[in-house]
Chains A and B, each alone.
Chain A
Amino acid sequence: MSAAAAIAPPAPVSEARRSGLALVVLLIAPIALINALGFLVPVLNLARMSFYEVEPTGAMREVYTLATWLTVFKDTFYAELILNSITVSLGITLLTLVCSYPIALYLHRSSGTWRTILLVLVISPLLTSAVVRTYGWIAILSDSGLVNNALSAIGIAPLRLMFNKTGVVIGLTEILMPYMILALLAGFGRLDPRIEEAASTLGAPPFTIFRRIILPLTLPGIALGCLLCFVLAVSSFITPKLLGGGRVFLLATEIYDQAIVTLNWPLAATLSILVLVIFGGALVLYTRALRAIM
């Protein structure tokens, strides 16, 4: 390639470069097109709809107004909603990380058939819909469910494990764990058993190896997994609907209610745009964190 470039006159070189660029554009074009049609256009539509006028019955007029946006900014309910969504999702993300990390680390270190079996076990919940899995949790967490039956068998009063924030956190944590584990695994590339052994021979006890070597080396995976799970937690509504018992107010469930029950599409659109803004913020934080880690 470089030899050819050295021999060839300058014009064909830039032409070659141009045709290389053309190839890149050609390869990117399909996904760019799909993204534009499947994501950008609907989002722009949402943005436009958030400025439509809406009547109390839900009738929408294509007249532009700031009313919905002003309501969202003035009504403290929405501020609480956003704050609640972010804190609950952060809590779920953290819990998911804590539960998934040891599993991912074990998976990373296992090999052969055993690893394949474990990987299938990790991924298999994704083959079932979140709705079905959430009903599974209802069977486990309800007043006469698995957990409370076991508790009452040993004489402990039943706990309220669902139809509240606890239920939503438990259910979403389990539902998001496969994503977290896969993201962590993808980010564990720099982890090498030789490096841990080197630290050990240099006098590092196991916990120090974890703190000084394993944890820093897996930070990219942690950042990726947390970003993914946070985004999924903020945007999930089925599990909070089923396990929240109408007590847990999150952005996603509110968007659902406004769009499907109350028929206030402009408000639903406004809240959706706010969710996108939160995602943008999460993405910025992720890139910053990654730059600091690497």
Chain B
Amino acid sequence: MSLTGDTTLHFSEEQAMLLDAARMLSRDYGGAQARPWLESDPGYDPALWAQMVALGWPGLSLAESVGGAGLGIGAAVPVFEALGRGLLGTPLLASLLAGELLQRAAVNVPVVQSVLRELASGAPASIAWLEAEDWGARDIACELSAEGVLSGSKQQVLDAAAAEWLVVVAQQAGEPVLALLPTDAVPASARREHQLVDLSRRAQRLCLDGLAVPPEHQLRGPAVRSALRDVRLLAALLLAAEATGSAAACLDTTVAYLRTRKQFGKLIGSYQALKHPCVSLLIAIDSSRSLIYHAASLVGPGELDREAEIACRMAKAQAGDSLLEAGDRAVQFHGAMGFTWECDAQRYLRRALWCQGMYGDTRHHRRRLAALLLDP
């Protein structure tokens, strides 16, 4: 096998339909329509989430046995690409990832099945995962004692305020364990809302000290270990899909400005100093798009293989960088307008800044890729 390896790329009828539906939703709720919600409590229009629930998207990747659509997580890639175009944020990302983690870790456990059923019908959920800034950290500090009591804290728990279920990633005697908690088990005094650079997102810092987890809500074993590893990669993929959509919309915004703004009696889009970077962005975004759909073709319900891991990591590295550059150039190319709150360029750039560090930054993924690709 060559270093470029697998170049599978499929796009199913279902994915095409999802892409169309998500694009429609993105047109109806995204862009300018999403702006008034940015400084509200939820951060998004509740009517949008209601629509997603009505469409069955929270159960998109969940098994049919728990009321999901059984389409697999690859089907979420077109959805997030389209939502990214509208700069939309809802609990969908957090919920699908939490569902995927539970489904992969312990699909046959009765408690998990009943929680997954709730998720499929629209109860938001989230994974409490990150403890410090380092996504690549080896150890989990948060501990579940032998008596089933949690200690430790988590940060950037996505959509924790909206979530009804939390999946806490903890350890017990050095072995990873998942603790399934109804979110209202975490008292208000133990939560602090983060201020995120991307205003379309919500996340909380949670102090978990002293929270008791009933034994049937504790999941452990080899499946948990591999589910954690796989969902880290899937999280990177879904965020890459969203970043790809945001980057494409960002480039459209910049191009539209360059086609109408005049200086020195000329449309500024005629200057090569502005044209050529736009072409570089187009190429970067085209690469991101190819990579996310390639990865979507490789992520099945089973344990992710080497090629799927390579694909997810490449997708995040490429898409994260594309969005950052698209946002950065959008601000610059809008001139003084780009420096204002009113101009949408800041929304793309702020989204890029949040996205780059989440689920592994570009250098993290490239470092892992080097080991995967270059070490015999």
Q: Do A and B bind each other?
A: no
Using a CB–CB cutoff of 8 Å, the interface residues on chain A facing chain B are none
